[in-house]
Structure 1
Amino acid sequence: MKHRRLLGFFLISIMIFSMITFTGCQSIGDSVSKVKVKLGFKNKDFEYIRQGKISKIVIQSTRDNGFRFVVTDANVINEIYDMLSTGKPAKSKSSLRPDYTFQLYKNDKKVYAVFNYVAGIDKKSGGNFYSGNKSYIVSNRIDSDIIKNFWEIDGTRTLVDFDQVYYKMALNAINKYITYSKNSNIGVEIDNDVEAAKFISSTDLEDFKKELPSGVSVIESTEDDSNKDVTLNLNTEGYDQKVYKCVATFYNKKTMEQKKYYMIGKYNKDYWNISVQENKPSDF
């Protein structure tokens, strides 16, 4: 990969020099752009953004209707253009559920295009930014430079390493319940935890699925749980930068028995200490 980047840089340098030499009136910026397109480092499908045809971009979470922000600043729109124009065209779209939609507006009312976005780069190599038959693998800079900036502005949504506490809590509760009930035919109804929805991403959820014990599976809102003996609902009770509180409720559909576990995660020295208890703690 490193050699490929060095080779690409070398080729770009040579081609830019040649283009500037033979077309002296052409700007260096245009020369660089054309070379990148020619070498496959850039696509031209989002030129309409660079041309100023997009005045507003609305980014909406697919899991949390309350997490929606509007981009109207020309500089930020240009940043998004830079990220999208360097996206690599993909033959197919990601099989994962999209985390966000990007609505590109020509003006306040007219939508120019709508794209689905899977946060992070899909490890299965499908396009993580797509619309219709067009798919692209875009850099996770959209997560780190754009979306997370808005997370920081909205202080109610900040949390240290959500995936390190939430999924570990769930796994601990699942293992404890299996030991208690001797039944592992469990469906985790992940979409029912409204407070956690804002933090969940499809790529993290896929990693969580791989850690689940045999017989346990994640049931998303569009899926059927009728073949599961037991359902697990997680309910986030509260959180901040250092503490996460959640209740795990198992319901056996055959015996109609309900079993609850109270879970607390406390962050200390780069690590989440997690406790799972049957009785509600005094500090819960």
Structure 2
Amino acid sequence: MTRKTKVALLSIFLITITILGGCKPIETIEKKLGVKNDYFEFLNNNNVDKISIQSTRDPGFKFIVTEDSAIKDMYQLLSRAKVSETKSTLEPDYIFEFQIGEEVKNFYYVVGSDEGNFYNDNEIFTASKRLDEGIIQNLSFIRKPRDFDYIYYQSILDVLNVLKDKVKLSDYNIGINIQGDIECLKYIFSVDLKSFLEKARKIAPNLELVENNDEKFDLVITVKNRGYDSTNYKTKITVNDRIQKYTDEYFITAVNEFKEWNIKVSEVNNKPKDW
């Protein structure tokens, strides 16, 4: 039985049960149809002391949830996650730690992934995109700046397009290093990185993210943000070519005008006066 069929049947049952009255029968039906799971009931019994949410990319970014209302919100979202058999293939973005007295339950969370995006060694769940977004929005633990995904990744793509006119990028093993871009790491999610890498590999096929393996690459592109708000963006992108033995710097500035970003890549090693 498909999930859509289950939801349709559930709607019919809910109408009937609503007429007859009572919430418990509704929850029972939801669980039988797989629309609701009962694993996260521990969030609904006031026994959770706190929920810690730790970024996997930014060690300094950790959010603590202790308010009962926020924990209840988390229960409402996770209790409707689908039980799954397969974990997401993407790297997790956050680690959730549920503190229940002396007991701790840990889960990995992949933001925006379609399948198996909330899991640990024993349990795997899939939160729908609507619920996925709600976990962030309702708990307010992150507020990604407007258009961040576009402006951040497009700036790197623009530099790659400049480089392809200078060297044959297919001859290089290229590493994109964002590990030190501390101000932006909390906004970087695996699903967005996957989309970016797909676009970047159309320009430079032998391209990967640097993950503590800088030494394996012939050419390393290092990104370091220098300021970002809703209308202005600055970042420095350093290119280290180990084959031709040179290091170049590109200074990217962007301005949001009439709801569109105008991105400008400086001439190599030419720092703008207003930088």
- TM-score above 0.5, yes or no: yes
The answer to whether the 8 A contact 1:247-1:261 is kept is yes
Q: Which residue of 2 aligns with 1:193?
A: 181
State the secondary structure of the residue aligned to 2:179.
helix
> Which of 208, 213, 216 in structure 2 is aligned with 1:218?
208
Name the amino acid aligned to 1:71: V
Name the SS of the counterpart of 2:54 in structure 1: strand
Amino acid at match of 1:55: D
Aligned to 1:170: 156
**Residue by residue, what CA displacement relative to the aligned partner does 1:198-253 show, whole Å, maximum 9, x if unpaired?**
2101110010011012324232425x455532111011111112111111111011
Secondary structure at the counterpart of residue 28 of structure 1:
coil
Aligned-residue RMSD, C-alpha: 2.4
Whether the 8 Å CA contact 2:50–2:64 is kept in 1: the answer is yes
The code of the aligned residue for 1:6 comes to A
AA of the residue aligned to 1:81:
Y
**Alignment equivalent of 1:65, drawn from 59, 63, 76:** 59
Change (3 A) 1:200 1:50: same
Instruction: Measure, in 2, the Cα distance between the counterparts of 1:163 and 1:87.
Output: 26
Percent identity, please: 33
Where structure 1 has 5 or more consecutive residues not aligned to the other structure, the ranges are 21-26
User: Are the counterparts in 2 of residues 190 and 218 from structure 1 also a CA contact under 8 Å?
Assistant: no
Instruction: Note the 1:59-208 alignment, pairs <5 A.
Output: 59-107=53-101, 110-122=102-114, 125=115, 127-141=116-130, 144-148=133-137, 159-184=145-170, 185=172, 186-208=174-196
Structure 2: distance between partners of 1:137 and 1:158:
22
Alpha-carbon distance, 1:181 to partner: 2.4
Give 3-state SS (helix, strand or coil) of 1:180's partner: coil
Shift of 1:149: 5.7
Instruction: Provide the secondary structure at the position in 2 that maps to 1:13.
Output: helix
Q: Which residue of 2 aligns with 1:6?
A: 8
Q: Identify which of 31, 35, 39 aligns with 1:37.
A: 31
Residue identity matched to 1:192: G
What is the 5 A alignment of 1:40-51?
Answer: 40-51=34-45
Q: Deviations over 1:146-190 (max 9, x none)?
A: 434665x88xx6521110101000000011012122334221122
SS at 2:27's partner residue?
helix
| Shift, 1:121, TM fit | 2.9
Q: How far is 1:88 from its partner? A: 0.5
Shift of 1:85: 0.8
Secondary structure in 2 matching 1:196 = helix
Using structure 1 for the length normalisation, give the TM-score: 0.85
Does the 8 Å CA contact 1:83/1:141 hold for their aligned counterparts?
no
TM-score, structure 2 as length reference? 0.88
Partner SS state of residue 254, structure 1: coil
Given residue 72 of structure 2, which amino acid in structure 1 is its aligned partner? N
Segments of structure 2 that go 5 or more residues without pairing to the other structure are none
Tell me the residue number matched to 1:276: 265
Number of aligned residue pairs: give it: 267
Distance across 2 between alignment mates of 1:208 and 1:142: 24
Is the partner of 2:156 in helix, strand or coil? helix
Q: Distance in 2 between matches of 1:62 and 1:232?
A: 22
Contact kept? 1:41, 1:88, Cα under 8 Å = yes
Contact 1:86 1:138 in 2 (8 A): yes
Q: Distance in 2 between matches of 1:98 and 1:89?
A: 18
Structure 2 residue 236 is the aligned partner of structure 1 residue 247? yes
Q: Verify the 8 A CA contact 1:158 1:240 in the aligned structure 2.
A: no
Q: 1:3 to 1:44 in 2, by over 3 A?
A: closer
Seen in structure 2, the aligned counterparts of structure 1 residues 150 and 11 have a Cα distance that, compared at 3 Å, is: closer
